[in-house]
Homo-oligomer: A and B are copies of this chain.
């Protein structure tokens, strides 16, 4: 038997997913119990050159994917529309969806999760937060007895790259941003990253996962790194500190959720002090396990494909056929 997967999007991440499916057939067969094939890929621009095998249909019309007996959809397009409509259509047809789209999840996660619930299928999204670091997986599947007290995280590789470059090369914010763009670590319009929105969306997804709800967006401090000057960086160096764009998340004693995203100064003994360049890291403080720190690449074609493909094979737990997925296997509701 073959599992047929439709791939939406063929940018950096989409290409990484495609290549991984081609190169990791043996691992996929072992984990999924069946071989995995991508018969159709949705793209935006039909004029670009692409290195995709000839037997894969490349289309700009979303509805073309339903010409194939699709068992799962991997979304690597990004943004809110038209993807929200695409994914709703897939879930309504009971097709499980794997996505890395943090903006869509932060804004429309509840609606999509409800749609998945109503049609007894799955919406999974490990890759949406912290690249290849299995932070959502650990929170969702592992930490069941531990009480999570606080979370601190560096979740935006672009911002961390710029802050690292400013410090190491003594160059301005503008110069460092230009370097990040030259190296492909920042987009032409970098505002989502440098204004803290990307970190904000990811923090909201973590809040849903841990507390089953988000804080009121108006109560969340959200500052980016665009106001950080070389003078700030130098002042931090003088006190043996570093500036990091830090997300924090906790629940106060009255039950309200507190979240913030802002550049902060951290000392040498802070567990996230050593996280440099495009890396991400999450520190989870719990009552039993104490301080757990997970770090790794926060973005990039293969690290993101890693999270997407490990998510994908998690659908095949207990060797059930994909059609028989039911909500039962998820003990804790996500995105109520």
Interface residues in chain A, defined as those with a beta carbon under 8 Å from any beta carbon in chain B = 20, 24, 27-28, 30-31, 132-134, 137-138, 141-147, 269, 271, 273-274, 276, 286-297, 300, 302-303, 305-307, 309-310, 312-313, 318-319, 328-329, 331
Contacts and interface: CB of A to CB of B under 8 A. Distances in A.
B274 A273 contact: yes
Copies in the complex: 2
Contact of A20 (B288, B300, B329): B288
A142 B310 CA distance: 7
A31 B287 CA distance: 17
A312 B299 CA distance: 34
A187 to B, nearest CB: 21
B286 A291 contact: no
A167 to B, nearest CB: 14
A318 B331 CA distance: 8
Nearest to A138: B134
A329 B320 CA distance: 11
Nearest to A33: B331
A51 B42 CA distance: 64
A93 to B, nearest CB: 25
B306 A289 contact: yes
A145 B306 contact: yes
A31 B145 contact: yes
A24 B297 CA distance: 34
